[in-house]
Structure 1
Amino acid sequence: MTVVTVLIRSELLDRGCLNAESAVFTLRTFSFSSHILPFSAFLTDNFGRRHNYLRISLTEKCNLRCQYCMPEEGVKLTPRGQLLSTTELLTLARLFVREGVDKIRLTGGEPLIRPDVVHIIAELKKLEGLKTVAVTTNAINLARLLPKLKEAGLDLINISLDSLVPAKFEFIVRRKGFHKVMEGIDKAIELGYNPVKINCVVMRGFNEDELLDFVALTENKPVEVRFIEYMPFDGNKWNFKKMVSYQEMLDGIRQRWPNMEKLEGAHMDTAKTFRIPNFKGQVGFITSMSDHFCGSCNRLRITADGNLKVCLFGNSEVSLRDIMRSGASDEELLHIIGAAVGRKKKQHAGMFSISQMKNRPMILIGGFLKTSGCKTRSKKPNCDHRNLCYGHLVKTSGFPLFYKQLVGINAPSTAHTVRHCHSKSPTPISPSVQLTHTDDQGRASMVDVGGKAPTRRSASASARVLLGSTVFPLLRDNQLAKGDALVVAQLAGIMAAKQTSNLIPLCHPLPLDHVSVTFQLQEQHHAAVVTATCRTTNRTGVEMEALTAATVAALALYDMCKAASHDIIITDVKLLSKTGGKREFYRDPEEEDRKVQSERSE
């Protein structure tokens, strides 16, 4: 082990982790082996929490219908093409592991119904630096698959089981399968998993009378029964009266086993663990509602459709899938991930606030009931501050103010920010704010970039084309009279990006390193979403090239489809990201379903 004092020019400044005034040089001392580096700044939030644990949802599908997890009417599954492919999933896993993640848990839905789950585990185990691959399962298929899973390298197993009474089990999960679950537990013990963790969501009026029976399992089996406080998610009809608190559970168990003793846990543990003397197993309590553990949260989630969630109870998400499919580099992807982690709050909201908050049903979140870590932002009427508002920014002490806002650092008091929200009383515009393309007299003027150093820059933009029920199937099936509309629109967008300086008067002509234009077809809304990404190595950015490409691609799509219908709407043209310049930028994807429904109703 070597102790080294390192003089660092803090690139954390560029990532929004330090104030400009304090980030000239930083002297730090590290104790490390030669192959160990300091933990990634991209996965460290503003409260110093290091996120070395990633939960990846393999699928939204499940072979059970648990009452606390899924609405009674079910959920609408994401189309297959919008889910992460195996290649994309493994690409993200490699990126996170490279930055310091050493534990990955595979979740669902039900992860063991994914056909290539064994292959995914085997590939994950090849990643250097990844210590643990775990799975959370309902165990319906576990006994059959476990020998292959173990051979592939599966390290840990968590099994969901909410009742030891077969009839009650079927009532809670709305399916048969109790004996398969018990068989799966026994198989895991037989193959040497110790402990086998059993997750039990405790709900008053359902299963709180079985607490002692579950604890009794730990007498002769090397299992850890983990009692989980009932949590609110969309559609699960959460009610405070149904929640049995940790203290109530603990008091009831200690009436039967007063000598139950608390065990010392690791700092990052989510469960408070206890053991009864001479019992083979142990008991844990996950207290997300009554006694949160946000201060030690080290977990991030990737949903099956590729969204990054930094908090189980937060409704803000970032689509890593869309960013990857736009052709972004690993470095660009890391900046987006770092910005999302930087926005993570100190703790989640209280249980009553969470119960009123719009969030996914738990089955679509892709991580079962084991973490907290952020507090939902308040929402003013008619203004959604979970997404960054449009703004003009001024220079502040040599540091990009917008990026400070993005990662949640307080800006200096001298900074001026203009927000254009939908609220009735927008923030007044400061007299000191000036547009960049005007001179001191307010006349149009091209920005002088001669003094800037060339850097690698990229930008992504999108536009939505609402095609309607008549045109959409024709486009999808390539049956339009004019031919392959998507190919034509793609070429139009690429050509437009190259001609941006000829179309927008004050834009600098730029040599483009790369232009990509992609389409996502949304069958539910009969819409096509255009995403354009441009890259250059130059003194100025390419956000106008990306916006022009997305807009012209949408217009070309309109032109190709208008013979079939003129009831086509181009909407939501917006900049998604801008990296490589002085002012980094990223806007969270908006809630598409909500927006489309709102547009349809107007």
Structure 2
Amino acid sequence: MLHDSLGRRFHYLRLSITELCNFRCNYCLPDGNPCDTPKDNLSKDEIRTLVATFAKLGTSKVRITGGEPALRKDLPDIIEICKNTPGIKKVALTTNGFSLKRQIHDFKQAGLDALNVSADSLDPRMFAAITGKDTLEDIMQGIDMALGCGIQTVKLNTVMLKQFNLADMQQFFTFIKDTPVTWRFIELMQTGNNQQFFNQNHVAGDSLKNNLLAQGWQRVIAPKHAGPAQEFSHADYAGRIGLIMPYSKDFCQTCNRLRVSSQGKLHLCLFADQGLDIRHHLSANDIQGASTAISQLVAGKTAGHNLQQGFTGATQQLAMLGG
């Protein structure tokens, strides 16, 4: 099992397969992808070697991210590669949902277990204002199809934005009253290019947590392969609430995940100084070499991300690594 000097064990890989995204979310890519966005993404063979290496090191869960991973036409093949790797028990996908109506059955057939969909508002006009796309109805239909075709876990992600969707929070609670999904609220994170937007729109997750507890929501114990969200349930609701609060105390204490970029760089943290290149091992199908390199690099993982001090590392925008 991969572990660092602090004793944290890592059994969750977040794999970005492209930095390209077709949305223009105001908190991430308000102007769209820059001209220098890399396009030399990991090949399917390189991904096969990477996932086999992580499985050998004890990884049991792979989440496929972007950018927008569905912009790759071979996404179903990549899901299948991950699912068919011995040792991988769960394959998840994070997407903006633009292709769900067309592709969710392909994803399911390929072996997808869990789905996270970005949905920053349930009001079509506000959704368009945040994302630059008037596609909310199609996305919600795709989510219904995912629930209908037997995807084990469906979650929706909302970045909390003071000037945009904070006033409409009750819409999300109304939705999960009868719908068995987890709606997750994510603290806006400061990146290299959004400081002014961050200052105007950041909402502390602790305030929402305190309101949940006051209204009778109960904390749910997360399984070992879960991500950083704190989940809450309520007897009167079919769905759950999740909170991702990177600015909260001890957020990094239970870190269990590592990231690999679409360019084959290992990121020990979303906000690390730089990615660590392991692609030459992947291109050579060198599982042993990749395993040794990853183990040595992970041993040097630092205790925390230092976001509270305004440190953003190499992350210019979240599409670089999928959050």
- Taking structure 1 as the reference length, the TM-score comes to 0.51
Match of 2:92 in 1: 134
Shift of 1:251: 4.2
Is the 8 Å Cα contact of residues 217 and 223 (structure 1) preserved in structure 2?
Answer: no
Does the alignment pair 1:362 with 2:321? Answer: no
Whole-angstrom CA distance in 1 between matches of 2:124 and 2:177: 21
Whole-angstrom CA distance in 2 between matches of 1:78 and 1:63: 13
Change (3 A) 1:124 1:239: closer
Change (3 A) 1:173 1:71: closer
Match of 2:304 in 1: 347
Name the SS of the counterpart of 1:196 in structure 2.
Answer: strand
Rg larger in structure: 1
Pick from 98, 103, 106 the counterpart of residue 148 of structure 1. 106
Change (3 A) 1:192 1:198: same
- Superposed, 1:110-129 pairs within 5 Å as 110-129=68-87
Deviation sequence 1:337-378 (CA, Å, 0-9, x none): 1222111011111333225x443321012x33xxxxxxxxxx
Match of 2:202 in 1: 243
Match of 1:97 in 2: 55
- Superposed, 1:149-228 pairs within 5 Å as 149-228=107-186
* Unmatched 5+ stretches in structure 2: none
Does the alignment pair 1:52 with 2:11? Answer: yes
Match of 1:414 in 2: none
- Superposed, 1:338-487 pairs within 5 Å as 338-355=295-312, 357-365=313-321, 367-368=322-323
Change (3 A) 1:163 1:350: same
* Unmatched 5+ stretches in structure 1: 1-38, 369-602
Is the 8 Å Cα contact of residues 189 and 196 (structure 1) preserved in structure 2?
Answer: yes
Whole-angstrom CA distance in 1 between matches of 2:69 and 2:57: 25
Name the SS of the counterpart of 2:14 in structure 1.
Answer: strand
Shift of 1:73: 5.8
Name the SS of the counterpart of 2:311 in structure 1.
Answer: helix
Whole-angstrom CA distance in 1 between matches of 2:178 and 2:114: 20
Is the 8 Å Cα contact of residues 234 and 362 (structure 1) preserved in structure 2?
Answer: no
Change (3 A) 1:73 1:130: closer
Pick from 20, 25, 29 the counterpart of residue 61 of structure 1. 20
Shift of 1:157: 0.4
Name the SS of the counterpart of 1:220 in structure 2.
Answer: coil
Tell which deviates more after alignment, 223-232 or 53-62: 53-62
Whole-angstrom CA distance in 1 between matches of 2:234 and 2:302: 37
Deviation sequence 1:516-561 (CA, Å, 0-9, x none): xxxxxxxxxxxxxxxxxxxxxxxxxxxxxxxxxxxxxxxxxxxxxx
**In the alignment, residue 31 of structure 2 is paired with which amino acid?**
E
Whole-angstrom CA distance in 1 between matches of 2:27 and 2:257: 22
- Taking structure 2 as the reference length, the TM-score comes to 0.92
Shift of 1:69: 1.7
Q: How many residues align?
A: 321
Shift of 1:91: 1.1
Change (3 A) 1:324 1:132: closer
Change (3 A) 1:265 1:209: same
Whole-angstrom CA distance in 2 between matches of 1:243 and 1:292: 19
Shift of 1:259: 2.4
Deviation sequence 1:400-436 (CA, Å, 0-9, x none): xxxxxxxxxxxxxxxxxxxxxxxxxxxxxxxxxxxxx
Query: Highest relative contact order (Cα 8 Å, sep 6+), 1 or 2?
Result: 2
**In the alignment, residue 346 of structure 1 is paired with which amino acid?**
A
Shift of 1:320: 1.5
Match of 2:292 in 1: 335
Shift of 1:223: 0.6
Match of 2:29 in 1: 70
Does the alignment pair 1:304 with 2:248? Answer: no
Change (3 A) 1:165 1:254: farther
Shift of 1:139: 0.8
Change (3 A) 1:91 1:328: closer
Is the 8 Å Cα contact of residues 202 and 243 (structure 1) preserved in structure 2?
Answer: yes
Shift of 1:60: 1.4
Cα RMSD (Å) of the superposition? 2.0
Whole-angstrom CA distance in 1 between matches of 2:81 and 2:14: 16
Whole-angstrom CA distance in 2 between matches of 1:217 and 1:105: 25
Name the SS of the counterpart of 2:235 in structure 1.
Answer: coil
Change (3 A) 1:175 1:292: farther
Is the 8 Å Cα contact of residues 307 and 317 (structure 1) preserved in structure 2?
Answer: yes
Is the 8 Å Cα contact of residues 52 and 287 (structure 2) preserved in structure 1?
Answer: no
Change (3 A) 1:291 1:242: farther
Name the SS of the counterpart of 2:155 in structure 1.
Answer: strand
**In the alignment, residue 75 of structure 1 is paired with which amino acid?**
P
Is the 8 Å Cα contact of residues 118 and 148 (structure 1) preserved in structure 2?
Answer: yes
Is the 8 Å Cα contact of residues 119 and 152 (structure 1) preserved in structure 2?
Answer: yes
Shift of 1:285: 0.6
Whole-angstrom CA distance in 2 between matches of 1:61 and 1:241: 26
**In the alignment, residue 153 of structure 1 is paired with which amino acid?**
G
Match of 1:281 in 2: 239
Is the 8 Å Cα contact of residues 17 and 41 (structure 2) preserved in structure 1?
Answer: no
